């Protein structure tokens, strides 16, 4: 515990959307309890601290660091290393820090292509000279420097040691509050923390267990996009041909999406012991495609398989929407690289 | 640094492996480079599977305290059991041994020795990484019920049932039709000996019907199969005969008095008639008749009852109130001998069957030649009186034809030769017989001699597939005839051969319901639809499902001797099991981690062996370990990682992959995958 007696809390925002900060604030009046229990040591979204302040802290000064966002550029990585050094407990907070999330999908293409889309080929861009971000710029006042944009997005645990992971895009407020309560109990009352390396703020089965829709055996003959059908509100969405990542996704969210008729997108990541959420779901889907009969010509079965799989729009973005950067593949080869 | 002590053994397999893989180099390399992964000894040897090779492993286990063994040799299909047994003999749990296939997957498929050697090293590294994660496993022991179910009472099923019953064990013999005997009972003569089919079959039928150890369930069908090897519970529907078997004497008066005559599509192949209460043929076993309710006047119109009125037994044997009965029997093993369906010649319209009166199928001709058949054995045209002057026999109807069945039906050449002989015998030696064939396949004992004999009888052989059978005469002499249009490939010319009668030697097909039956018993069918055997050469009557055996044409087209052999072989396999009293099942099984199962039910339809059970009340899935064959379908399907396969856990497979990929093609070890 620090000199002033109150534990120190930090929250940092790397390559992410800011939803994680909002989710923390979404614990509502409990945020007052957080303020009462913790001293905020660094929280750029809500408090005015500078990096030099953090650099000035002794190592391990911060008791709890919630790090959200993926590692997209050199600044993200430097901040991750700095905060790791200054924090006792480092938490990968939310899907970006945990597994790359939506930014991680850029691992399916190249850095050049990403910059091209963002700075050159976009209806809202006005960049007639085609200027792209330069890491260094010699201005009259001296050399200016901006962070280096990486070729590959990394998750937090691919650059520093991570003590705990809170999954979700964003994590559900009631789960955040449960975790904070546990941390407070540990800091103030000496209660035990969960074993290092564990996923906290989540369940330990698949989303299906929390989902109230009726589940039967499955045989899918084609997939539908959400706008194409009005789902039966009683029946498992997968059985209706609506893509739902629920079976391959860790519970904890309360199955919010499937219960209201929108297939689970998979934001809580894979279950414990599963190395690759996308591959798991892909093999599961492949297992329940209702095509081919014994004795049927193999080429014909293959054609039918292709036809069903073609009804899945953007399979990489469907199966690896959140987990690309943390998957077995991590990234796609682009131009032989 | 691995905590395991691993021994690596590389087999030369004579020159099979050594000629393409530098085995000595691999052994030296493994000892040096895989030491950090736990390898303490690496050896190469001429034949690892020899007693001396196995002793090498055993000595190292004892002297060097090995805790894991990797054998780089042939496919595990061949010698996994050998090396597991060798480990067990030296006191090491047999499942701590891993085989790496450097013969089938390396030396036999590559031509560059340096690269092949590199690949062998990579694969061995994978094996070493994997074996470290192996767990000691104990085989599952299950007791074996000594009763056996035989499904299908054709010649294969009858043979199997008698063999088992003669050995003193109970058999339930289930037959769908009212009588046992199968297709063989319909034939007149059997090739090549030309002995009377009924004369050699009926004694076996009588034995099967009266054997104290055989419980015959004719006119019955299997409804459901539960349980697993050693402990199957089978539900059988005994269809109502409307004849009380306890009192019926089989006198046949009911049949005689029945006023309703119907065409017999099944036994007489549509050529003859039977009554509405009938026995398929005079020597039927059991002897009890059966009422065909669709044609029975009483069942259709509520009147008649002639059979009941004339039945002489006390009490009366005719029981119109009889209902289907469901029986449950417990058996340890099951033999499926469900036979074949005849190819439906109507599917080849250009051959005219069903349109041209004097085109007959092989089965119709069999019935025609039979002494108790519709023409009392005389060869006659469809009018029943005219004797043909010229007859054509067309081989390979529906067989060896990519439009229908690609495979050879095996029996048709010999059957067609038999037909040619029978025509000469019954219609006189001056009757012209033309056999149209693609290739003549007379490959077994005394078969080719029979071909020579038929050749000597003056039968004409035309080599070429028949294009068409037509009654449209074009040339003089063709009027009123059936004309066979075919290419004679030996003279390279088209021929038109006018005949009076055409016999289509239809091929054999899987039973129309073989896929459903296979599913019911948890076995699969090949692309052609016949049941798939465990190994086409070395285990032709077993299946991938423990306790389920196959025999006869259900496994593939074959003739009578081969069916008898398979029936006997299947019974020998079953008897071996029964004598063991207990069966040790390989413990490579899938299991559900209940706490991780969310009840999504994706795996529920995956199991080809019906081992998956869903508990609706708890919303969790369970796998029956004795039914599970360790195929891994459900393990792959489970998106939650809640199903694990022993010996094939994700961790084991990933460790193997990592091992494989650690070695770059250039030979250096890559420790971290390169990140761009």
pLDDT tens-digit map of B35-58: 999 999 999 999 999 999 999 999
Distance from C-alpha of B276 to C-alpha of B292, rounded to nearest angstrom: 5
The pLDDT, as a whole number, for residue B389 is 96
Token pair recorded at residue B551: 């025999």
Distance from C-alpha of B400 to C-alpha of B409, rounded to nearest angstrom: 8
Q: Report how many domains make up chain B.
A: 5
Distance from C-alpha of B198 to C-alpha of B36, rounded to nearest angstrom: 73
Token pair recorded at residue B593: 């981690």
Asked if the structure places residue B304 within a domain, the reply is: yes
Instruction: Tell how strand B612-615 and strand B620-623 pair up.
Output: antiparallel
Q: How far is B658 from chain A (nearest CA, A)?
A: 11
Q: Is the ipTM of this complex over 0.90?
A: no
Token pair recorded at residue B667: 């030979």
pLDDT band at B673 (very low <50, low <70, confident <90, very high): very low
8 Å CB contact between B6 and B70: yes
Of B600, B606, B641, the CB nearest to A273: B641
Distance from C-alpha of B371 to C-alpha of B254, rounded to nearest angstrom: 23
Q: How far is B635 from chain A (nearest CA, A)?
A: 9
Given B585, B608, B627, the domain boundary residue is B585
Asked if the structure places residue B640 within a domain, the reply is: yes
Contact criterion met (CB < 8 Å) for B605 and A288 = yes
Residues of A in contact with B633 (CB under 8 A): 287
Distance from C-alpha of B427 to C-alpha of B406, rounded to nearest angstrom: 34
Q: What is the pLDDT of residues A176-218, one digit of tens each?
A: 999 999 988 988 888 898 999 999 999 999 999 999 999 999 8
Distance from C-alpha of B251 to C-alpha of B289, rounded to nearest angstrom: 9
**CATH (domain of B109):** 3.40.50
The pLDDT, as a whole number, for residue A117 is 93
**CATH (domain of B609):** 3.30.70.20
Q: How far is A205 from chain B (nearest CA, A)?
A: 5
What contacts B650, CB < 8 A, 6 or more positions away? A273, A274, A275, B641, B644
Domain co-membership, B348 together with B492: yes
B437-440, Cβ contacts within 8 angstroms, sequence gap of 24 or more: B437/B395, B437/B396, B437/B413, B437/B461, B437/B462, B437/B463, B438/B395, B438/B396, B438/B400, B438/B463, B438/B464, B438/B465, B439/B463, B440/B413
Distance from C-alpha of B49 to C-alpha of B490, rounded to nearest angstrom: 52
Domain co-membership, B248 together with B206: no
Asked if the structure places residue B675 within a domain, the reply is: no
Distance from C-alpha of B455 to C-alpha of B114, rounded to nearest angstrom: 59
8 Å CB contact between B661 and B121: no
What average pLDDT does range A3-16 have in this prediction?
Answer: 88
Cα of B522 vs its chain's centroid, Å: 13
What contacts A314, CB < 8 A, 6 or more positions away? none
Domain co-membership, B318 together with B409: no
Exposure class string for B597-634: b at 16+ Cβ within 10 A, else e: bbbbbbbbbbbebbbbebeeeeebbebbbbbbbbbbbb
Helix (H, G, I), strand (E, B) or coil at A9: strand
Answer whether A273 touches B (CB < 8 Å): yes
Answer whether A174 touches B (CB < 8 Å): no
Q: What is the pLDDT of residues B395-425, one digit of tens each?
A: 999 999 999 999 999 999 999 999 999 999 9
Asked if the structure places residue B199 within a domain, the reply is: yes
What contacts B21, CB < 8 A, 6 or more positions away? B10, B102, B106, B107, B113, B116, B117, B120
Asked if the structure places residue B214 within a domain, the reply is: yes
pLDDT band at A55 (very low <50, low <70, confident <90, very high): very high
At CA A300, angle to CA A294 and CA A306, rounded to 5? 110
A335 strand-pairing partners: none
pTM as predicted: 0.69
Contact criterion met (CB < 8 Å) for A337 and B598 = no
Q: What is the pLDDT of residues A215-260, one digit of tens each?
A: 999 899 999 999 999 999 999 999 999 999 999 999 999 999 999 9
Answer whether A233 touches B (CB < 8 Å): no
Could you count the other beta carbons within 10 Å of the beta carbon of residue A292?
15
Residues of A in contact with B652 (CB under 8 A): none
Answer whether A265 touches B (CB < 8 Å): no
Of A216, A217, A284, the CB nearest to B639: A284
pLDDT band at B140 (very low <50, low <70, confident <90, very high): confident
**CATH (domain of B184):** 3.50.50.60
Q: What is the pLDDT of residues B304-315, one digit of tens each?
A: 999 999 999 999
Lowest mean pLDDT among A20-34, A130-144, A288-302, B96-110: A288-302
DSSP string spanning B336-373? E---EEE--GGGSGGG-TTTSTTEEEHHHHHHHHSTTS
Of A209, A271, A328, the CB nearest to B641: A271
Does B535 score more than 90 pLDDT? no
Distance from C-alpha of A214 to C-alpha of A271, rounded to nearest angstrom: 22
Domain co-membership, B448 together with B359: yes
Higher pLDDT, B441 or B666: B441
Contact criterion met (CB < 8 Å) for A208 and B598 = yes
B497 strand-pairing partners: B484
What average pLDDT does range B66-90 have in this prediction?
Answer: 94
What average pLDDT does range B584-613 have in this prediction?
Answer: 90
Domain co-membership, B427 together with B470: yes
The pLDDT, as a whole number, for residue B414 is 97
The pLDDT, as a whole number, for residue A294 is 65
Domain co-membership, B383 together with B306: no
Q: For chain A, list the domains and their CATH numbers.
A: 1-202 (3.40.50.700), 207-326 (no CATH)
- How many CA atoms, within 13 angstroms, populate the side-chain half-sphere of residue B592? 29
Domain co-membership, B482 together with B551: no
Answer whether A274 touches B (CB < 8 Å): yes
Percent of chain B with pLDDT over 90: 84
Asked if the structure places residue B264 within a domain, the reply is: yes
Q: How far is B598 from chain A (nearest CA, A)?
A: 5
Domain co-membership, B551 together with B504: no
Asked if the structure places residue B669 within a domain, the reply is: no
Q: Which residue has the tokens 């396999």?
A: B573
Does B665 score more than 60 pLDDT? no
Contact criterion met (CB < 8 Å) for A208 and B604 = no
Contact criterion met (CB < 8 Å) for A271 and B640 = yes
Given B489, B508, B527, the domain boundary residue is B508
Q: What is the DSSP letter of A331?
A: S
Distance from C-alpha of B533 to C-alpha of B546, rounded to nearest angstrom: 12
Asked if the structure places residue B1 within a domain, the reply is: no
Helix (H, G, I), strand (E, B) or coil at B380: coil
Contact criterion met (CB < 8 Å) for A206 and B528 = no
8 Å CB contact between B660 and B670: no
The residue in chain B having the minimum alpha-carbon distance to the alpha carbon of residue A334 is B676
Q: What is the pLDDT of residues B574-587, one digit of tens each?
A: 999 999 999 888 88
- Determine which of B529, B601, B640 to mutate to test the interface with A (most A C-beta atoms within 10 Å): B640
Domain co-membership, B372 together with B499: yes
Does B667 score more than 60 pLDDT? no
Token pair recorded at residue B504: 């289509």
Domain that holds residue B287: 240-323
A42 strand-pairing partners: A10
8 Å CB contact between A266 and A249: yes
pLDDT band at B672 (very low <50, low <70, confident <90, very high): very low
Does A2 score more than 50 pLDDT? no
Q: Which residue has the tokens 């053994």?
A: B9
- Determine which of A271, A275, A325 to mutate to test the interface with B (most B C-beta atoms within 10 Å): A271
The residue in chain B having the minimum alpha-carbon distance to the alpha carbon of residue A286 is B637
pLDDT band at B284 (very low <50, low <70, confident <90, very high): very high
Answer whether A218 touches B (CB < 8 Å): yes
The pLDDT, as a whole number, for residue A75 is 96
What average pLDDT does chain B have?
A: 93
Does A336 score more than 70 pLDDT? no
Nearest 10 degrees: CA dihedral of B188, B190, B193, B199?
-60
Instruction: Tell how strand B501-506 and strand B390-397 pair up.
Output: parallel
Answer whether A219 touches B (CB < 8 Å): yes
Does A1 score more than 70 pLDDT? no
Given B323, B350, B383, the domain boundary residue is B323
Distance from C-alpha of B21 to C-alpha of B111, rounded to nearest angstrom: 10
Q: Which residue has the tokens 């690892």?
A: B48
Domain co-membership, B504 together with B422: yes
Domain co-membership, B346 together with B335: no
Could you count the other beta carbons within 10 Å of the beta carbon of residue A65?
25
Q: What is the pLDDT of residues A153-183, one digit of tens each?
A: 999 999 999 999 999 999 999 999 999 999 8
CA distances from B447 to B46, B399, B443, B451, B453 (A): 44, 20, 6, 7, 10
Token pair recorded at residue B5: 């002590």
H or E, element range at B160: helix B155-166
8 Å CB contact between B370 and B422: no
The pLDDT, as a whole number, for residue A335 is 67
pLDDT band at B1 (very low <50, low <70, confident <90, very high): low
Interface of B with A in 521-540 (CB under 8 A): 524-525, 527-529
What average pLDDT does range B459-464 have in this prediction?
Answer: 96
Q: What is the DSSP letter of B589?
A: -
Domain co-membership, B449 together with B372: yes
Does A318 score more than 50 pLDDT? yes
For chain B, give the number of residues: 676
Residues of A in contact with B650 (CB under 8 A): 273-275
R_g of chain B computed on alpha carbons: 31
Token pair recorded at residue A159: 């650059």
- Tally C-beta pairs within 8 A across A and B: 105
């Amino acid at each position: 515990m620090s000199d002033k007696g109150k534990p120190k809390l930090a929250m940092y925002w790397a390559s992410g959307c800011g939803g994680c900060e909002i989710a923390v604030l979404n614990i509502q009046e409990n945020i007052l309890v957080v303020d009462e229990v913790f001293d905020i040591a660094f929280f750029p979204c809500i408090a005015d601290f500078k990096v030099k302040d953090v650099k000035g802290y002794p190592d391990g000064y911060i008791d709890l660091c919630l790090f959200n966002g993926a590692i997209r550029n050199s600044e993200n990585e430097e901040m991750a290393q700095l905060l790791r050094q200054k924090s006792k407990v480092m938490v990968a907070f939310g899907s970006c820090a945990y597994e790359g999330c939506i930014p991680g999908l850029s691992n399916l293409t190249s850095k050049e292509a990403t910059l091209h889309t963002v700075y050159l080929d976009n209806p809202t861009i006005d960049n007639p000279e085609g200027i792209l971000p330069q890491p260094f710029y010699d201005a009259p006042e001296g050399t200016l420097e901006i962070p280096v944009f990486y070729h590959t997005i990394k998750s937090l645990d691919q650059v520093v040691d991570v003590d705990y992971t809170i999954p979700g895009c964003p994590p559900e407020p009631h789960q955040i509050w449960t975790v904070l309560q546990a941390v407070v109990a540990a800091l103030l009352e000496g209660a035990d923390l969960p074993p290092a390396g564990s996923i906290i703020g989540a369940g330990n089965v698949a989303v299906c267990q929390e989902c109230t829709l009726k589940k039967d055996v499955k045989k899918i003959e084609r997939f539908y996009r959400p706008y194409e059908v009005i789902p039966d509100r009683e029946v498992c969405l997968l059985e209706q041909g609506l893509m739902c990542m629920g079976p391959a996704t860790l519970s904890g969210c309360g199955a919010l999406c499937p219960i209201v008729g929108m297939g689970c997108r998979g934001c809580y990541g894979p279950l414990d012991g599963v190395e690759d959420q996308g591959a798991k779901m892909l093999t599961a889907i492949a297992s329940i495609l209702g095509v081919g009969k014994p004795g049927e010509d193999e080429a014909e079965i293959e054609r039918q398989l292709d036809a069903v799989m073609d009804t899945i729009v953007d399979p990489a973005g469907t199966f690896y929407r959140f987990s690309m950067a943390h998957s077995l593949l991590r990234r796609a080869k682009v131009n032989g690289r | 640094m691995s905590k395991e002590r691993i021994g690596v053994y590389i087999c030369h397999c004579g020159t099979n492996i050594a000629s393409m893989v530098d085995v000595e180099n691999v052994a030296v390399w493994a000892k040096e480079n895989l030491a950090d992964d736990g390898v303490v000894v690496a050896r190469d040897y001429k034949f690892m599977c020899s007693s001396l090779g196995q002793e090498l492993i055993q000595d190292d286990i004892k002297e060097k305290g090995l805790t894991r063994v990797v054998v780089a040799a042939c496919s595990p299909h061949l010698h996994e059991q050998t090396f597991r047994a060798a480990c067990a003999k030296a006191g090491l749990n047999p499942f701590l041994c891993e085989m790496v296939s450097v013969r089938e997957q390396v030396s036999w498929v590559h031509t560059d020795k340096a690269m092949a050697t590199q690949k062998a090293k990579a694969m061995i590294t994978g094996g070493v990484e994997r074996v470290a994660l192996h767990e000691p496993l104990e085989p599952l022991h299950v007791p074996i019920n000594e009763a056996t179910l035989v499904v299908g009472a054709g010649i294969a099923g009858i043979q199997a049932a008698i063999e088992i019953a003669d050995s003193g064990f109970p058999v339930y013999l289930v037959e769908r039709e009212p009588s046992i005997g199968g297709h063989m009972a319909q034939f007149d003569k059997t090739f090549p000996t030309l002995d009377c089919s009924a004369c050699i079959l009926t004694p076996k039928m009588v034995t099967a019907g009266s054997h104290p150890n055989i419980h015959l369930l004719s006119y019955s069908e299997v409804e459901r199969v539960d349980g697993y090897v050693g402990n199957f519970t089978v539900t059988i529907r005994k269809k109502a005969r409307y004849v009380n078997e306890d009192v019926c004497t089989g006198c046949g008066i009911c049949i005689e008095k029945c006023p309703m005559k119907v065409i017999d599509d099944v036994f007489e192949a549509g050529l003859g008639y039977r009554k509405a209460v009938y026995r398929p043929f005079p020597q039927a076993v059991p002897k009890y008749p059966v009422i065909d309710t669709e044609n029975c006047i009483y069942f259709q119109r509520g009147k008649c009852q002639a059979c009941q009125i004339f039945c002489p037994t006390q009490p009366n044997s005719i029981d119109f109130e009889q209902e289907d009965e469901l029986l449950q029997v417990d058996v340890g093993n099951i033999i499926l001998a469900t036979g074949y369906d005849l190819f439906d010649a109507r599917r080849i319209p250009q051959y005219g069957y069903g349109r041209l009166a004097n085109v007959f199928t092989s089965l119709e001709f069999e019935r025609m030649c039979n002494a108790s058949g519709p023409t009392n054995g005389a060869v006659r045209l469809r009018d029943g009186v005219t004797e043909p002057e010229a007859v054509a026999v067309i081989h390979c109807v529906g067989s060896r034809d990519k439009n229908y069945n690609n495979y050879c039906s095996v029996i048709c050449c010999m059957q067609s030769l038999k037909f040619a002989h029978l025509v000469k015998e019954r219609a006189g030696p001056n009757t012209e017989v033309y056999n149209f064939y693609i290739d003549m396949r007379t490959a077994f004992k005394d078969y080719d001699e029979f071909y020579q004999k038929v050749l000597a009888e003056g039968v004409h052989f035309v080599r070429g597939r028949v294009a068409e059978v037509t009654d449209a005469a074009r040339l003089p002499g063709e009027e009123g005839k059936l004309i066979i249009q075919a290419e004679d490939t030996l003279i390279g010319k088209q021929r038109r051969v006018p005949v009076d009668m055409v016999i289509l030697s239809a091929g054999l097909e899987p039973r129309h319901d073989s896929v459903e039956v296979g599913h019911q018993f948890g076995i699969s069918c090949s692309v052609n639809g016949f049941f798939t055997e465990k190994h086409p050469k070395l285990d032709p009557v077993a299946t991938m499902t423990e306790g389920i055996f196959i025999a006869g044409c259900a496994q593939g087209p074959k003739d009578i001797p081969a069916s008898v052999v398979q029936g006997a072989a299947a019974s020998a396999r079953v008897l071996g099991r029964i004598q063991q009293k207990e069966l040790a099942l390989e413990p490579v099984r899938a299991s559900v981690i209940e706490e991780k199962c969310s009840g999504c039910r994706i795996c529920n339809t995956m199991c080809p062996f019906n081992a998956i059970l869903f508990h609706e009340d708890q919303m969790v899935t369970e796998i029956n370990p004795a039914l599970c064959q360790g195929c891994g379908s459900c393990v792959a399907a489970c998106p939650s990682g809640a199903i694990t396969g022993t010996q094939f856990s994700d961790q084991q497979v990933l460790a193997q992959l990592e091992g494989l990929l650690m070695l770059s093609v250039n030979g250096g070890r890559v420790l971290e995958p390169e990140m761009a």
